[in-house]
Amino acid sequence: MDITLEPSWKTKLASQFDAPYFEQLTAFVKWEYQNTTCYPKGSQIFAAYDHCPFYDTKVVIIGQDPYHGPGQANGLCFSVNDGMKHPPSLVNIFKELKTDLGIPYPQSGNLERWAKQGVLLLNATLTVRAHQAGSHQNKGWEQFTDATIKTLSEHGEGLVFLLWGGYAKKKAKLIDTGKNHILTSGHPSPLSANRGFWFGNNHFSKTNKILAKMGKPLINW
């Protein structure tokens, strides 16, 4: 099956595209986009991969599924298009950034700037029906994104995986911690953050310390 995807990822994930689950997933997504309103727009479904080639990936952040409101999702987890109001989880991410690294609260919630530095902003489910959170879960996307995580773990080295919240933490079993790093904390959503499970995790400075030890360029968060 011919999928438009950044070349290094297309090579690394080639075995997935002809698998029966992926053909079924593609048929489902095509029907949904043709008959309902879905996000992100079709050209941004694989934006996480397109903005962060396999060999450039240094850090992986795992989300659950895209924002389901109009104009929000841009294919990168926790990220919204320029000009959009920042969702609560993103607000808390930026608050932690300010506390951790002293970075002023950003005007734009578009995290492409992170992706272009080697941060793979990967949702477990890459599409969603408008106003219906989780509507495209358990249709095959998770198998594809799990394969992505496994491939990174197997063929990458010294990657930093940031697992925020219970759902993301379940992905730890896919990661070889003998050669990669995992940082975990609560989710940045208000429910978790306000109970003390998010703020103060210092994941952004900790990530850069790990990268520095390996002689890799730091992320300009």
* Residues with catalytic roles: 65
Q: State the DSSP H helix or E strand holding residue 141, giving kind and residue range, or none if neither.
A: helix 141-155
**How far apart are the C-alpha atoms of 19 and 36, rounded to whole Å?**
26
CA 59: distance to chain centroid? Answer: 10
**How far apart are the C-alpha atoms of 150 and 144, rounded to whole Å?**
10
CA 151: distance to chain centroid? Answer: 15
Give the residue from 114, 97, 86 showing the smallest Cα distance to 200: 97
Give pairs for 167-176: CB < 8 Å, separation 24+: 167/64, 167/124, 168/62, 168/63, 168/64, 171/62, 171/124, 171/146, 174/146, 174/149, 174/150, 175/149
32, two tokens: 């949904």
